[in-house]
């Protein structure tokens, strides 16, 4: 029996008045994959994630998670997924423990003490449990957000630039923990980042968006091979500048590898 | 120096040009205060002073219940917007009715705490005993809580639709109904056309009922029932309006913008 996609996006379109933010987007993510949703600012990544989470209603097309339509089964789906974004915060005037306790209850955990303790230990920060969230460093905050994201043992995790604003050491630790969690629990991760080296090391497959449409997709290696380049960063820059992936022969001189 | 002053001046003027709500707010408070205290003065001209003090204190405490009830709902949303936690809440598997209920209960807690404190202070400083209202105190306060919830839902709906520009409404909306709710003066002080509007508000029946109890000791049950019926209508309208605005926000992407701005 073939494995069904855990996320299936079909002909998804979102228009805000005259602006088409997402244009007939179709892709699927298989269980256990780390899937990169990439593109320059304004490409439609955040809108796509918010459509997938039912925060925005699509103009047309469908999003299914676990085979369920997000428009009809949003609450059931949200119970099985979680989300963390560098642009969304937790209440700064609550302690780390209080924040996790509140969200654990929002996700239906009646006795979450052990779960919170385990997660704080996993992310190496049991000592900050009773520290006010506003007093935490960026690295601690990111890890606290990830603790929150793992509270309900999600089957799918949406991570919007999870390592933005982290120093390289903390970012590497976060990536290591995420990979470990993904291996141990078989979680599917939908990942956005502007750090292309991170994407190369983290993602099984990627899609690049520009103006709401897919420009290229595949494994990071496939994408680089098709673009005749040695890094995803080159692919990113070419898409950011041209809105499409032109052949390397047409690429601006500055982007070509020195001979 | 003038360059920097004018730059700052322009920055504030641009803000008002961008938001009609903020611009309207400049006039809103003075006008509302003028209307409110104008009616109070008119009432004082006709009244024996000791009675007026009792009514004023009762009015102040009762008004606070309505105000806190509405504020608890709207401030919950405002707080989530301020700390950028809104999306975490809306992406958790909670029903909208659960969100509304939680904020309404917060309103009950705040209102009860306020009644206890204000009632105590009024007794200690002015020898005004709120308990002289008797058993009617419970339905009176419950009625004000319900109306506060309805107003809170409407305010929250507007904030979701208009974003941070509408935050001033969190504080302003109760004061829109205050002059016509006959908080500090009887309804018959108002001009005829305003009396008609006043009787469409459940709060009017509560404040009129409170004065009647303090003055005569008798409870007008019909007033309580009318207030309850009106409250049910306003709650239904408030919930429907909130649901509609939330749907609009999902279609137009306001919710995500609000959560990340």
Q: Per-residue confidence at B45, pLDDT binned at 50, 70, 90?
A: low
> Whole-angstrom Cα distance, residue A22 to residue A9?
12
Q: Is B81 on the interface with A (CB under 8 A)?
A: no
* CB count in 10 Å sphere of residue A66: 17
The residues, any chain, with a CB within 8 Å of residue A192's CB and separated by 6 or more, are A36, A37, A38, A45, A46, A49, A159, A160, A161
Q: Do A50 and B83 touch (CB under 8 A)?
A: no
pLDDT of residue A259: 42
Sheet of A68-69, strand order: A19-29, A7-16, A60-65, A68-69
How far apart CA B195 and CA B182 sit, in angstroms, is 9
d(CA A61, CA B125): 66
Q: pTM of this prediction?
A: 0.82
A186 φψ region: left (φ > 0), alpha (ψ -120 to 50), beta (else): left
Predicted pLDDT of residue A78: 95
Comparing B5 with A105, which gets the higher pLDDT?
A: A105
For residue B79, list chain A residues with Cβ-Cβ distance below 8 A.
91
Asked if the Cβ–Cβ distance from B92 to A92 is below 8 Å, we say no
* CB neighbour class for B77 (10 Å; exposed up to 12, middle 13-18, buried from 19): buried
A173-201 b/e with 16+ CB inside 10 Å = b?
Answer: bbbebbeebbeeeebbbbbbbbbbebbbe
Model confidence over B89-120: pLDDT tens digits?
899 998 888 888 888 888 888 788 888 888 88
pLDDT (0 to 100) of residue A181? 86
CB B81 within 8 A of CB B259: yes
By C-alpha distance, the chain B residue nearest A100 is B88
Query: Any bridge partners for residue A159, and if so which?
Result: A84, A191
CA distance B23 to A190: 43
**What is the least distance, in Å, from the CA of A70 to any CA of chain B?**
12
Nearest to A152 by CA among A125, A98, A112, A123: A112
Residue B192, H or E segment: helix B192-198
Judge contact between A37 and A28, C-beta under 8 A.
no
Token pair, residue B59, equals 């009015």
Instruction: Write out chain B residues lying below 8 Å of A71, CB-based.
Output: none
Handedness of CA B225, B227, B229, B231 (dihedral sign): negative
- For residues A156 and A186, the answer to whether their CB atoms sit within 8 Å is no
Interface test with A, best of B256, B258, B259, B261 (most A CBs within 10 A): B256
Q: What is the mean pLDDT of residues B32-43?
A: 68
Helices (H), A34-167: 45-52, 74-78, 96-106, 113-122, 138-149
Lowest mean pLDDT among A112-126, A139-153, B36-50: B36-50
* Structure confidence by residue, pLDDT tens digits, A210-258: 999 999 999 999 999 998 888 999 999 988 887 666 654 444 444 444 4
Provide the pLDDT confidence category of residue B211 given band limits of 50, 70 and 90.
confident
ipTM > 0.90? Answer: no
Write the pLDDT tens digit of every residue in B115-147: 888 888 878 877 778 888 888 888 999 999 999
Angle between helices B96-126 and B137-162 (to 10 degrees): 130
Q: Which long-range CB contacts under 8 A does A71-76 form with residues at least 24 apart?
A: A75/B93, A75/B94, A75/B95, A76/B93
Cα B261 to Cα B248: distance, rounded to the nearest angstrom: 18
Sheet of A213-218: strand order equals A81-85, A156-160, A188-192, A34-38, A205-210, A213-218
Contact B84 A103 (CB under 8 A): no
């Amino acid at each position: 029996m073939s494995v069904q996609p855990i996320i299936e996006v079909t002909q998804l379109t979102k228009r805000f008045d005259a602006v088409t933010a997402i244009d007939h987007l179709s892709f699927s993510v298989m269980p256990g994959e780390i899937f990169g949703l990439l593109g320059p600012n304004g490409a439609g990544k955040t809108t796509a994630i918010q459509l997938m989470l039912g925060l925005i209603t699509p103009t047309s097309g469908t999003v299914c998670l676990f085979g369920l339509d997000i428009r009809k089964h949003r609450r059931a789906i949200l119970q099985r997924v979680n989300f963390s974004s560098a642009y969304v915060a937790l209440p700064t005037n609550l302690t780390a423990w209080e924040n996790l306790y509140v969200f654990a209850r929002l996700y239906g955990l009646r006795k979450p003490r052990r779960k919170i303790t385990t997660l704080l230990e996993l992310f190496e920060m049991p000592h900050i449990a009773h520290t006010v969230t506003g007093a935490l460093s960026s690295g601690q905050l990111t890890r606290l957000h990830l603790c929150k994201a793992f509270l309900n043992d999600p089957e799918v995790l949406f991570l919007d630039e999870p390592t933005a604003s982290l120093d390289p050491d903390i970012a590497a630790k976060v990536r290591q923990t995420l990979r470990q969690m993904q291996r141990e629990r078989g979680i599917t991760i939908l990942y956005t980042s502007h750090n292309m080296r991170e994407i190369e090391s983290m993602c099984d497959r990627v899609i690049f968006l520009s103006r709401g449409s897919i420009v290229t997709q595949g494994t990071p290696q496939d994408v680089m091979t098709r673009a005749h380049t040695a890094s995803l960063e080159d692919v990113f820059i070419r898409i950011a500048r041209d809105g499409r992936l032109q052949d390397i022969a047409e690429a601006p001189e500055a982007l070509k590898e020195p001979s | 120096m003038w360059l920097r002053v004018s730059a700052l001046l322009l920055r504030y003027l641009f803000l008002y040009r961008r938001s009609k709500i903020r611009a309207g707010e400049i006039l809103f408070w003075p006008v509302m205060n003028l209307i409110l205290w104008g009616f109070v003065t008119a009432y004082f001209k006709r009244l024996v002073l000791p009675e007026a003090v009792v009514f004023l204190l009762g009015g102040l405490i009762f008004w606070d219940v309505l105000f806190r009830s509405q504020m608890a709902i709207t401030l919950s949303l405002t707080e989530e917007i301020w700390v950028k936690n809104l999306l975490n809440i809306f992406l958790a598997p909670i029903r909208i009715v659960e969100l509304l209920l939680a904020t309404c209960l917060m309103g009950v807690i705040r209102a009860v705490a306020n009644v206890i404190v204000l009632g105590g202070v009024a007794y200690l400083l002015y020898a005004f005993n709120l308990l002289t209202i008797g058993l009617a105190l419970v339905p009176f306060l419950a009625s004000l809580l319900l109306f506060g919830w309805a107003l809170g839902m409407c305010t929250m709906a507007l904030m979701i639709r208009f974003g941070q520009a509408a935050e001033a409404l969190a504080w302003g909306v109760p004061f829109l109904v205050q002059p016509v709710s006959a908080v500090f003066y009887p309804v018959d002080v108002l001009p005829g056309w305003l009396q008609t509007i006043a009787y469409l508000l459940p709060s009017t029946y509560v404040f009129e009922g409170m004065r009647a109890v303090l003055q005569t000791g008798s409870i007008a049950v019909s007033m309580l029932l009318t207030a309850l019926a009106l409250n049910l209508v306003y709650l239904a309208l408030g919930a429907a309006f909130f649901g509609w605005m939330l749907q609009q926000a999902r279609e137009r992407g306001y919710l995500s913008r609000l959560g990340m701005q």
